[in-house]
Amino acid sequence: LLTLARKTLEEYLSTGRYTEYVPISENLYKPYGAFVTLTTLDGKLRGCIGHIAADNPVFKVVQEMAVAAATQDPRFLPVNLDELKDIIIEISVLSPLTKISNISEIEIGKHGLLVKKGFASGLLLPQVAVEWSFDREEFVRQAIFKAGLDPTFMGDPDLEIYTFTAQVFSEKEL
């Protein structure tokens, strides 16, 4: 999947389109949600976009999210082909969501979070809590903040909290 993401980005940033991959492994046809995170060599975020629902084959999700992370993350200007050589790709393949009733069910380093209230939602991948040394409460507060909500909503009965796990792999590890 890492090779697929890189080749997709190289082709897309060169031509404005990419060839749909035809996997040889049946596992890549399985439906999973996934996030693609792009960072610079010095560890700065350069783009991160994902698809939560497990409604498409994982290879398609990775191709689409790689392009989206490079070109559609509203926090950054689009990645250009020249800078791609200095970007590290990380992929997080998501498990299904599990609704929880108490934040004590959250395991830092294992769970990612999705919080929802009305139309607002915020998602943080499992590695975020570890990278920022968040405890459970801070992890939930940050997800609420990312949803654009007031962090004091943590005890709100209308706030839904979901956990998920992720299989995370990066070009850093290669």
Query: 46-100 pLDDT, tens per residue?
Result: 999 999 999 999 999 999 999 999 999 999 999 999 999 999 999 999 999 999 9
Q: Mean pLDDT, the chain, as a whole number?
A: 95
* Nearest Cα residue to 141 out of 125, 154, 131, 126: 154
Task: Provide φ and ψ at 12, rounded to 5°.
Answer: -65, -45
- Look at residue 174 in the predicted model and tell me its pLDDT: 66
- Look at residue 157 in the predicted model and tell me its pLDDT: 87
Check: CB of residue 124 under 8 Å from CB of residue 146.
yes
Task: Look up tokens 């389109």; give the residue.
Answer: 17
Q: How many Cβ atoms sit within 10 Å of the Cβ of residue 21?
A: 17
Task: Look up tokens 């992370």; give the residue.
Answer: 69
**What percentage of residues in the chain have a pLDDT greater than 70?**
99
CA distances in angstroms from 81 to 20, 54, 67, 78, 164, listed in the order given? 19, 30, 12, 10, 33
Residue type present at position 111: H
- Look at residue 20 in the predicted model and tell me its pLDDT: 85
Task: Look up tokens 């007031």; give the residue.
Answer: 150
Is the pLDDT assigned to residue 110 strictly greater than 90? yes
**DSSP classification of residue 138:** H
**Average pLDDT of 29-41?**
96
* CA–CA dist 56, 64 (Å, integer): 11
